[in-house]
Amino acid sequence: MSVNRAILSWPREKRDRFALALWDADAIAAATGGKASGAFQVSGVEIDSRDVRSGDLFVALKGETTDGHRFLSKAFANGAAAALVSEPIDWPHILVEDTTAALEALAAAARDRADALRIAVTGSVGKTGVKEAIFAALDRSSRGAAHRSVRSYNNHVGVPLSLARMPGRSQFGIFEMGMNHAGEIAALTVQVRPHVAVVTTIAPAHIENLGSEEAIADAKGEVFGGLMPGGTAVVPADSPHFERLKAHAVAAGATVIGFGRSASADARLLDAIPSANGGALVTADICGTRLCFTVAEPGDHWISNALAVMAAVKAVGGDLGSAGLALAEMGGLKGRGARHRIAAPGGHALLIDESYNANPASMRATLRQLGQTPATRRIAVLGSMKELGDFAPGFHAQLAEPLVEAQVDYVILVGEEMTALARELGKPGGAPLAAGLGFAHCDGPGEAIGALEEFGLAAGDAVLVKGSNSVGLGRVVAHFVDRGTMGREG
């Protein structure tokens, strides 16, 4: 057979019927019930005019405080090919009655046109990292046919936006779901209609709005309500809320896979050996398949995360070998564990960027990892943990113990809520605090930068920067990384 004939007879797949463009005008109009101004194609979908790239569809959303129609000229100046609008304009567009409803309709059309197996990831801690790891595993094995929500696009706008961006040729779609109140995940999971739903862990994040960890577990368990028939629920077997989560999954008709160290876990840790770079060599039984793989990310919490990743990959029929390679190659995400070597007198120091998010569980886990990190001195810059309500003083004061256990030499506290921890650290002669942990309490990131510079970095130091995103500790990270980075670890 000639080469040309062999190429022409190459078997076609169902996804080959889709054009290479993400959307064309007719498809957008059909999905949204809108009217197209003319023929065009778009390669992406964006809601922020500042992030628009050449070829994007700009969706002019109307909110309580802003209106995307005010930024149309900027969107087109940045290269938008067309816009989704509720007011007539002179640029290429689709005219609809409600752009928010139209975005959700476009998301549903993207979901229905692709044969992608969809995975939803939620939880109090670790959902972004787990989402990224599942994506890396499935993208590797499918040779680029996996899609996922970027950044932390996990709310009532981010989820439909992420769906609308999914190419018709996708084989896998991984979507993160977050919430502040009960009922929010129920709305998101109905949009995604996942085949697999993962709950990473349950912790007192957003407890201000929900009142108890049990209520948080119930809110996270809403994700199972949107599962496709015959879907799979991946839940933490070591959690005290396992049975509660399992009950939600069973009520939805799901097959349940528990992951963790528990003897009853389906994706079960058999052994974990710490590696030189802070990660671990893991041996696990994943639903009857025994395998050994490396987890590059440091910390015991990442061993648990890896088991959730493997369980999800197994549930969609993915390649566990590719998943193991992906976990071995993952580096920390910006604001969520990225490690930087920064210049310091006499050499370099390590800066661990956990500036994007914080709650009591993630604070303890990250401080534990800091304590296991080889260093001449350990320094922690800790920002307030938000959305804890009346529980905030107690949860902040309780960080004294993990700080001492981690053998932290100096801590800089940032934000009003950290007053409770400052008071705890300042108690004279406190038994667990007799080590004399030094600290400073600052109002904001600017003061924190000054306090850290006054304390002075030295070669061999390890610096952890962690707090809720609204505290703004990303400024601290940027200041010290930009002034003299020597590379990124991992």
Half-sphere exposure of 482 (CA within 13 A, CB side): 7
CB 212, CB 202: distance < 8 Å: no
CA end-to-end distance (rounded Å), the chain:
48
Question: Taking the alpha carbons of 110, 111, 116, 120 in that order, is the dihedral positive or negative?
Answer: positive
Residues in the chain: 490
Tell me what pLDDT residue 270 has.
97
Closest by alpha carbon to 86, among 103, 69, 107?
69
Entry pTM: 0.81
CA 171 to chain centre: 21
Say which residue the tokens 């398949």 belong to.
289
CA dist list (Å): 272 to 59, 259, 329: 47, 15, 17
Q: How far apart are CA 216 and CA 201, in angstroms?
A: 10
Tell me what pLDDT residue 41 has.
97
Q: Domain spans of the chain?
A: 14-99, 114-329, 338-489
CATH class of 14-99: alpha beta
Q: What is the DSSP string of 316-327?
A: TT--HHHHHHHH
CA 79 to chain centre: 28
- Mark out the alpha helices in 51-201 (DSSP H runs): 72-77, 99-113, 127-141, 158-164, 184-192
Angle, CA 32 vertex, CA 26 and CA 34 arms, to 5°: 70
Residue 211 pLDDT grade (very low, low, confident, very high; cuts 50, 70, 90) = confident
Q: To the nearest whole number, what is the mean pLDDT of the chain?
A: 91
Tokens of 417: 């809520």
Burial of 212 (0-12, 13-18, 19+ CB in 10 A): exposed
Tell me what pLDDT residue 9 has.
55
Q: How far apart are CA 334 and CA 339, in angstroms?
A: 9
Q: Is the pLDDT of residue 90 over 90?
A: yes
Tell me what pLDDT residue 20 has.
66
Q: How far apart are CA 112 and CA 31, in angstroms?
A: 11
Among 23-27, 149-153, 301-305, 344-348, the minimum mean pLDDT is found in: 149-153
Beta bridge partner(s), residue 256: 233
Tell me what pLDDT residue 253 has.
97
Q: How far apart are CA 135 and CA 150, in angstroms?
A: 10
CB 311, CB 137: distance < 8 Å: no
The dotted CATH code for 338-489 is: 3.90.190.20
Tell me what pLDDT residue 486 has.
42
Better-predicted residue by pLDDT, 174 or 181: 174
CATH class of 114-329: alpha beta
- For residue 366, how many other CB atoms are within 10 A of its CB? 24
Tell me what pLDDT residue 437 has.
84
399 three-class SS: coil
